[in-house]
């Protein structure tokens, strides 16, 4: 936008509001970054934008992502999409060369994003990382397991740990072993570097039509990265605190600083792991690993889940719980029933649900990541067997039983692009373009609501709908998502506006012209 970009009228637009009371409009007037009116005669004092018939809606909100973690990966070795060991090792060598050129002798080589489904083989072992003498770690795309090389292994504690698994001979660490043993050993970037990365991440997320999200963050990053950036944030973050090793009767003293772009809304715990790592806690053993049914962890493992959730609610914040396996889901919904309804607990992932649990989600938010379905679909049949596929990402059944879907990405686990998430939810296509469990697919309108109004209401954002008095957080697409063939094409984000300010513009379409 030219000028201050906060007061204007947009005309000749195909506007979808996400507001069931008034779903469509042709014009919108914004004053001081807030929606003033829809379809009202434009003030002659305000500049006007002719959108040329393009589609406009509320900017997307990612219900579950990890902004500082995603920001860090922008400088790491991207192993996503590797289709062979040779490619895996080639990318590591190229990244090692960049570190060598930078002259940082103490830096670990950190890779992320590998998925054995991409090469349809076994997970990597320490030998795959032998191409560098530096300590090296490569994180699976779900961040619930990693592999390290010999140099890193020599620095790590490999004694058994509750809620985790270690295969020292292969350099493999899973769940609590990865988080409690590997992460603390990796030299952390400075707070200044993290703040720079945060700004880069915001710019990237705006290119995808995102105005904000529910980010999972550690207290140290909240204090050292977010709070010093309060005056410069452009991506709205409602943070859920990841720190959870505190006595149940003594929650941590949280920072109180907040503004329109940052506040703390909850605490997060883990009930289990992931399907890809075979650590999601299942009612029956894995079809391709009958010796295991996954892992319970943290408060669930100790039988403290209800007590922890109640302690969080006493602070006035929302307890959010990661649960992917159907047994973890059952235990979590039991805990929901034992806790207060407000602040509302959040069910994060809800990836496999026994049919008996689905009606129990009526009126409750299911915070889900549809692009995970497209990714995990490639291994779900092997992990679950055909009899349990009906439990896998039951979007449609949850909606039919009155649950409220809130969609996100879990970035950097998968791409934060909401359009890719909508495609996965609407088409049922996996990442290889093959249909899978399409009976769970939903309509475009329901997917858009999950990325806007529902995500906003679950996280306490004022945005998410275009309504008088709400923030002017807008996304412009080159075509209507209701008319696109999602199996073969995606709409393109042309502009993202946050609080009336243009944060991203693919081409100069938001040019202002004064009347008369």
- pTM listed for this prediction: 0.89
pLDDT tens for each residue of 287-345? 999 999 999 999 999 999 999 999 999 999 999 999 999 999 999 999 999 999 999 99
pLDDT tens for each residue of 61-80? 999 999 999 999 988 999 99
pLDDT tens for each residue of 460-487? 999 999 999 999 999 999 999 999 999 9
DSSP 8-state secondary structure symbol assigned to residue 392: B
Structure tokens at 199: 């700004």
Q: What is the C-alpha separation between 263 and 257, in angstroms, rounded?
A: 7
DSSP 8-state secondary structure symbol assigned to residue 106: T
* DSSP result, 64-100: EE-HHHHHHHTTSEE-TT--SHHHHHHHHHHHHHHHH
Q: Residue 2's pLDDT is what?
A: 31
Non-local CB neighbours of 356 within 8 Å, separated by 6+ positions: none
Q: What is the C-alpha separation between 113 and 101, in angstroms, rounded?
A: 24
Q: For residue 131, is pLDDT > 50?
A: yes
pLDDT tens for each residue of 440-463? 999 999 999 999 999 999 999 999
Q: Residue 511's pLDDT is what?
A: 64
Architecture of domain 76-185: Roll (3.10)
CB 277 within 8 A of CB 144: yes
CB 482 within 8 A of CB 444: yes
pLDDT tens for each residue of 409-423? 999 989 999 999 999
Q: How confident is the model at residue 4 (pLDDT cuts 50, 70, 90)?
A: very low
Q: Where in the chain is the domain with CATH 2.30.40.10?
A: 8-59+468-505
pLDDT tens for each residue of 202-260? 999 999 999 999 999 999 999 999 999 999 999 999 999 999 889 888 888 899 999 99
Q: Residue 132's pLDDT is what?
A: 86
Nearest to residue 77, comparing CAs of 62, 97, 63?
A: 97
pLDDT tens for each residue of 8-66? 999 999 999 999 999 999 999 999 999 999 998 877 788 999 999 999 999 999 999 99
Q: For residue 515, is pLDDT > 80?
A: no
Q: How confident is the model at residue 512 (pLDDT cuts 50, 70, 90)?
A: low
Q: Where in the chain is the domain with CATH 3.10.310.70?
A: 76-185
HSE-up of residue 131 (Cα within 13 Å, Cβ side): 18
* Mean pLDDT of the residues in the chain: 94
Q: How confident is the model at residue 513 (pLDDT cuts 50, 70, 90)?
A: very low
10 Å Cβ neighbour count for 360?
18
Q: For residue 430, is pLDDT > 50?
A: yes
Domain covering 8-59+468-505 in this structure, CATH number: 2.30.40.10
Nearest to residue 475, comparing CAs of 69, 188, 54, 36?
A: 54
Buried b (16+ CB within 10 A) or exposed e, 208-233: bbbbbbbbbbbbebbebbbeebeeeb
pLDDT tens for each residue of 342-388? 999 999 999 999 999 999 999 999 999 999 999 999 999 999 999 99
Nearest to residue 429, comparing CAs of 351, 489, 485, 373?
A: 373
Q: In whole angstroms, what separates CA 288 from the centre of its chain?
A: 28
Quick check: helix, strand or coil at residue 477?
Answer: strand
The CATH homologous superfamily for domain 268-459 is: Metal-dependent hydrolases (3.20.20.140)
Q: Residue 141's pLDDT is what?
A: 85
Q: Residue 509's pLDDT is what?
A: 78
* DSSP result, 439-472: GG---HHHHHHHTTHHHHHHHT-S-SS--TTSB-
pLDDT tens for each residue of 39-54? 988 777 889 999 999 9
Q: Residue 201's pLDDT is what?
A: 97
Q: What is the C-alpha separation between 453 and 462, in angstroms, rounded?
A: 9
Q: Where in the chain is the domain with CATH 3.20.20.140?
A: 268-459
Non-local CB neighbours of 40 within 8 Å, separated by 6+ positions: 27, 29
């Amino acid at each position: 936008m030219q000028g201050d970009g906060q007061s204007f009228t947009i005309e000749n637009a195909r506007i979808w509001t996400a507001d069931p009371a008034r779903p469509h409009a042709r014009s919108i007037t914004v004053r001081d970054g807030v929606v003033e009116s829809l379809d009202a005669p434009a003030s002659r004092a305000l500049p006007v934008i002719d959108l040329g018939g393009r589609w406009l809606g509320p900017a997307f909100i990612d219900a579950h992502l990890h902004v500082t973690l995603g920001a860090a990966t922008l400088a790491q070795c991207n192993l996503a999409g590797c289709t062979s060991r040779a490619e895996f090792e080639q990318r590591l060598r190229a990244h090692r060369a960049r570190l060598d050129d930078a002259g940082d002798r103490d830096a670990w080589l950190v890779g992320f994003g590998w998925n054995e489904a991409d090469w349809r083989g076994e997970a990597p072992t320490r030998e795959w990382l032998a191409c560098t003498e530096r300590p090296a770690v490569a994180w699976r795309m779900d961040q619930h397991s990693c592999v390290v090389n010999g140099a890193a292994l020599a620095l790590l504690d490999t004694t058994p740990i509750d809620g985790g698994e270690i295969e020292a001979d292969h350099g493999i660490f899973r769940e609590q072993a990865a988080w409690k043993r590997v992460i603390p050993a990796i030299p952390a970037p400075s707070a200044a570097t993290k703040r720079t990365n945060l700004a880069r991440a915001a710019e990237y997320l705006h290119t995808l039509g995102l105005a904000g999200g529910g980010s999972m963050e550690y207290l140290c990053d909240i204090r050292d990265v977010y709070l010093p950036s309060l005056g410069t944030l452009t991506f709205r973050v409602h943070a859920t605190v990841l720190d959870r090793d505190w006595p149940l009767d003594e929650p941590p003293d949280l920072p109180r600083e907040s503004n329109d772009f940052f506040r703390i809304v909850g605490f997060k715990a883990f009930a289990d792991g992931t399907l890809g790592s075979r650590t999601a806690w299942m009612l029956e053993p894995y079809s391709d690993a009958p010796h295991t049914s996954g892992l319970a962890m943290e408060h669930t493992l100790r039988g403290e889940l209800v007590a922890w959730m109640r302690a969080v609610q006493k602070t006035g914040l929302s307890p959010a719980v990661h649960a992917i396996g159907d047994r973890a889901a059952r235990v979590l919904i039991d805990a929901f029933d034992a806790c207060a309804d407000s602040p509302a607990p959040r069910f994060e992932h809800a990836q496999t649900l026994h049919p008996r649990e689905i009606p129990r989600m009526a009126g409750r938010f299911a915070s889900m990541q549809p692009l995970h379905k497209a990714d995990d679909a490639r291994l779900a049949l092997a992990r679950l067997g055909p009899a349990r596929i009906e439990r896998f990402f039951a979007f449609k059944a949850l909606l039919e039983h009155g649950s409220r879907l809130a969609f996100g990405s879990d970035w950097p686990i998968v791409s934060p692009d909401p359009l890719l998430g909508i495609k996965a939810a609407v088409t049922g296509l996996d990442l290889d373009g093959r249909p899978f469990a399409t009976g769970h697919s939903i309509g475009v309108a329901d997917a858009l609501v999950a990325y806007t109004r529902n995500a906003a209401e679950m996280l306490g954002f004022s945005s998410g709908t275009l309504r008088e008095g709400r923030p002017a957080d807008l996304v412009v697409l080159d075509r209507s998502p209701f008319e696109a063939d999602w199996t073969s094409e995606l709409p393109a984000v042309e502009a993202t506006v946050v609080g009336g300010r243009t944060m991203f513009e693919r081409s100069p379409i938001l040019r202002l012209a004064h009347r008369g």
